[in-house]
Chain A
Amino acid sequence: MDTLSQLIAGFAVALTPYNLMWCFVGVTVGTAIGVLPGLGPALTIALLLPLTYKVDATAAFILFAGIYYGAMYGGSTTSILLNTPGESATIVTAMEGNKMARRGRAGAALATAAIGSFVAGTIGTIGLTFLAEPVVNFALRFGPAEYFSLMIVAFVTVSAVLGTSAVRGITALAIGIFLGLIGIDLQTGQPRFTFGVTELLDGLNVIVVAVGLFAVGEALHLAAQKKRPDGGEVIEVKDSVWMSREDWSRSWKPWLRGSLIGFPIGAMPAGGAEVPTFLSYFVEKRLAKKPEEFGHGAIEGVAGPEAANNASAAGVLVPMLALGLPTSATAAIMLSAFQSYGINPGPLLLQQQSALVWGLIASLYIGNIMLLVLNLPLIALWVKMLRIPEPLLYGGILVFATIGTYGISQSWIDLLLLYLMGGMGFLMRRFDFPTAPVIIGMILGPLAEQEFRRAMTISEGNLMIFVQKPLSLALLLIAVLALVGPKVWGMVRRG
């Protein structure tokens, strides 16, 4: 009950017209930058840090939280419409979402993403309100061994995106792992695969690779096709822009499952936002009534990962507000904003700054509603974007990809990488290689490697650490079950 009264006090703070205005500005800016590939909430908030000299703390954090949530909504829009992920956590959304858009179902895909984000964001925020302490205590039990085993579970999800040929899928995965290894090795400080280029020392940016593979690759692929006299393919928008009854009944369970996967993993200090989207995609494909639709625009493949992504965004705030731990780039920037106000975030943050923290949490609920109200009417408008003639549409996509890539690093080498990845994406499309495993390998490869080596350092090289720790063992068993379970089950049923 104590929590409830504090939450109500938080709403009293968040619902003042002044703070509501900042919340609105935040979600709007967040949606806008989420749409732009490469420009994430972390960089945007970092650029807005000087605001902390001018605005009071509550307003600034309400603004930042709005940007954070808004970016998660916006990121899915370009994934679905243009196959150009705005955020790394919306890469999975592009896989089914864009296929849906190509089949004329962009409206339904955007709607299930928006409503799913709302549902998951609200569930995540409720979790943040009431479960912060048990969740964070559970998350802290994850050490390097447990994380490594979790990454192994996540690797199993590759099997859901391998496509028609395991050889080609695993080739893509291996290329992804290689790309992920580029840069300074965190554990030993040695440069790997940098070819003497200083710009490569910090590694490749996942978004640059994803935008290159998906968007630039697609542009090259389409340009290479002989033009039809009618001026090229225009995507028809079929039926209504809204979700059908069937869409609803196929979406609501993935929303809930995605939320349940996303929130706890987001709360883990090394969980991240991408891993839950992979897991959710895998789960939805396995549970779907029509798994054959996956890869051709299955609505579950949009609803689940989008929910997982937004719930994990709420999860990230759990260690930040409960312990003062910055576990993502955005959380780290937000913590430095606290310091601009002379507030040192730590385990006592909630007690010392309870009005600020509860105002922030209340504004997350409000921001979520605002985002839903903002995004649903926008869907009709977004869908119209597909009517832009191809020459201008792809010109625009490439210019925006340039902003996202060059705008941040101001280095032409990143542009070169973007286009090289585009060339690779083009070849992969022509020779029917799946591109998603590249991204999965690139994200999971380094995570798994670092955790494996940390665990080995701590255990003095004893491999048994992965089975001696109960949580780690349980995760490894889940991985085995997920991989061979369906086959065994099939044999049992047939036999």
Chain B
Amino acid sequence: MQTRRHVLQCGFGAGVAATLGLRPQHAEAQALSSLQIFVPAAPGGGWDQTGRSIEHALRTDAIVKDFKFEHAPGAGGAVGLPKFIGTKKGQGDALMVGGMVMVGALIANKSPVKMTDLTPVARLTGEFLVVVVPEASPHKTMQDLAAAFKAAPGKVSWAGGSAGGSDHILAGMMARAMGADPKAVSYVAYSGGGPAQAALLGNQVTAGISGWGEFSEQIKAGKLRALAISADKRQDGIDVPTLKEQGVDVELFNWRSVFGAPGIKPEQQKALVDVMERMVKGPAWQAELKKKDWTGIYLPGAEFGKFLGEEITRITGILKDLGLAT
């Protein structure tokens, strides 16, 4: 039934597009004049904002003029991905926003479709994670926390986002690097950064993990103490050591990226990569990065595809360790 619906839907969609002269397959593989941006999440979230920033940057720098947005929220992208694959196959002007969260969501939910079915276009931004403790906590450094964790894993509770998300993945990676069983992590999942922060500010949990941007203001105000960041090296203007520096050999970026539809021609892929390349080099995108506090970790087409493959293997491994994947 599902399949038939998709076939019918594609039939109708293509028909209408053809009558309106929008058929992208026949467009020349030169500069794109319009883009359909597909966000597999609700309006307002991180992926939606990435999509909106792309639109803003491309418009401002006059690279692409026309945009059409589509949202298909649910389950970390596991609802939207099959929809994108089903409805946009072969359309050279379709661009889907996605990221690391989706890798985990697809594995945990045993999704029948894979991210490798898509055409990789570019990795755009990344956000490193930060490990914090409440202001009143006795733990002053990562070593303190690690020692407490090794002594009695059950007594150290970690607040973060939903189980299987990037925060939980980092907790599992850290436990493994510290020589403990990732399943022993006393992980307290919250539905978002706000409630998790509240639990930390109220001294309800031992430590917390989240994206740098979620906690940075609390850290600056001295309400939370940052012990370590998950970046590969020290970051400009942030006086927090990395995990690696403190003997926990872990590195994790919560990256966001864009993909093309499956089944597009190599020249269509190239056109999309070119658009992203021009955008990333333009002033408007750089301004957006600065404003939103995102780290630009641009990686084009094929190289991003290779990175994606490695990331899937790595995350599958850690989710298995956490008991979330089989």
What is A's interface to B at a CB cutoff of 8 Å? 42-43, 45-47, 49-50, 53, 139-144, 184-191, 198-199, 201-202, 269-270, 319, 323-327, 331-333, 336, 339-342, 344-349, 408-411, 454, 457-458, 460
Q: Which of A184, A185, A344, A410 contacts B293 (CB 8 A)?
A: A344
**Does B127 lie at the interface of the complex (its beta carbon under 8 Å from any beta carbon of A)?**
no
**Contacts of B72 on A, CB cut-off 8 Å?**
409-411
Give 5 nearest A-B pairs by CB, closest first. A346-B217, A46-B44, A269-B198, A201-B75, A189-B164
**Does B238 lie at the interface of the complex (its beta carbon under 8 Å from any beta carbon of A)?**
no
| A140 vs B109: C-alpha distance when bound (angstroms) | 34
| Residues 138-194 of B contacting A (Cβ, < 8 Å) | 154-155, 157, 162-164, 168, 186-194
A143–B204 CB distance below 8 A = yes
Stretch of B14-22, B48-56, B239-247, B274-282 lying at the A interface: B48-56
Q: Which of A47, A201, A269, A331 contacts B79 (CB 8 A)?
A: A201
B74–A185 CB distance below 8 A = no
**Contacts of A332 on B, CB cut-off 8 Å?**
44, 192-194
Best-buried of B78, B189, B291, B292 by chain A (most CB within 10 Å): B189
Q: If A199-B79, A325-B197 touch, does A49 touch B202 (CB 8 Å cutoff)?
A: no
**Contacts of B168 on A, CB cut-off 8 Å?**
189
A458–B186 CB distance below 8 A = yes
B186–A457 CB distance below 8 A = yes
| A439 vs B35: C-alpha distance when bound (angstroms) | 42
| A341 vs B288: C-alpha distance when bound (angstroms) | 10
B223–A347 CB distance below 8 A = yes
A326–B192 CB distance below 8 A = yes
| Residues 180-222 of B contacting A (Cβ, < 8 Å) | 186-195, 197-199, 201-202, 204-205, 213, 216-218, 220-221
What is B's interface to A at a CB cutoff of 8 Å? 42-44, 48-49, 52, 55-56, 70-75, 78-79, 82, 108-109, 111, 154-155, 157, 162-164, 168, 186-195, 197-199, 201-202, 204-205, 213, 216-218, 220-221, 223, 290-293, 324
Best-buried of B44, B49, B189 by chain A (most CB within 10 Å): B44
B44–A188 CB distance below 8 A = no
Q: Which of B52, B74, B162 contacts A409 (CB 8 A)?
A: B74
Q: If A42-B44, A347-B217, A410-B71 touch, does A457 touch B157 (CB 8 Å cutoff)?
A: yes
Q: Which residue of A lies closest to B113 (CB)?
A: A198
Q: If A53-B56, A269-B198, A347-B221 touch, does A46 touch B74 (CB 8 Å cutoff)?
A: no
| A24 vs B250: C-alpha distance when bound (angstroms) | 51
**Contacts of A411 on B, CB cut-off 8 Å?**
72, 79
| A30 vs B163: C-alpha distance when bound (angstroms) | 34
| A486 vs B258: C-alpha distance when bound (angstroms) | 61
**Contacts of B198 on A, CB cut-off 8 Å?**
139-140, 269-270, 319, 325, 327
- Other contacts beyond A143-B202, A201-B78: 19, CB < 8 A: A45-B44, A46-B48, A50-B55, A144-B188, A184-B109, A184-B162, A187-B188, A187-B189, A198-B78, A269-B195, A269-B198, A326-B192, A326-B193, A332-B194, A336-B44, A340-B291, A344-B213, A344-B216, A349-B217
**Contacts of B290 on A, CB cut-off 8 Å?**
342
Q: If A189-B324, A191-B109, A336-B49 touch, does A47 touch B43 (CB 8 Å cutoff)?
A: yes
**Contacts of B217 on A, CB cut-off 8 Å?**
324, 344-349
**Contacts of B82 on A, CB cut-off 8 Å?**
198
A460–B155 CB distance below 8 A = yes
| A371 vs B191: C-alpha distance when bound (angstroms) | 32
| A49 vs B42: C-alpha distance when bound (angstroms) | 13
CB distance from B126 to the nearest CB of A (A): 17
Best-buried of A50, A189, A201 by chain B (most CB within 10 Å): A189
User: Could you show 12 A-B contacts with beta carbons less than 8 Å apart?
Assistant: A202-B74, A319-B194, A325-B198, A325-B201, A332-B193, A336-B49, A339-B291, A346-B220, A347-B217, A411-B79, A454-B188, A458-B188
Q: Which of B111, B190, B194, B204 contacts A458 (CB 8 A)?
A: B204
| A293 vs B277: C-alpha distance when bound (angstroms) | 68
**Contacts of A143 on B, CB cut-off 8 Å?**
199, 202, 204
Q: If A47-B43, A53-B56 touch, does A198 touch B79 (CB 8 Å cutoff)?
A: yes
**Contacts of A144 on B, CB cut-off 8 Å?**
188, 199, 204
CB distance from A404 to the nearest CB of B (A): 15
| A332 vs B48: C-alpha distance when bound (angstroms) | 13
Q: Which residue of A lies closest to B80 (CB)?
A: A198
B73–A409 CB distance below 8 A = yes
CB distance from A116 to the nearest CB of B (A): 28
B44–A342 CB distance below 8 A = no
**Contacts of A199 on B, CB cut-off 8 Å?**
74, 79
A198–B75 CB distance below 8 A = yes
CB distance from B36 to the nearest CB of A (A): 14
| A184 vs B110: C-alpha distance when bound (angstroms) | 13
Q: Which residue of A lies closest to B215 (CB)?
A: A346
A346–B218 CB distance below 8 A = yes
**Contacts of B202 on A, CB cut-off 8 Å?**
140-143
**Contacts of B70 on A, CB cut-off 8 Å?**
410
B192–A458 CB distance below 8 A = no
| A333 vs B48: C-alpha distance when bound (angstroms) | 11
CB distance from B176 to the nearest CB of A (A): 18
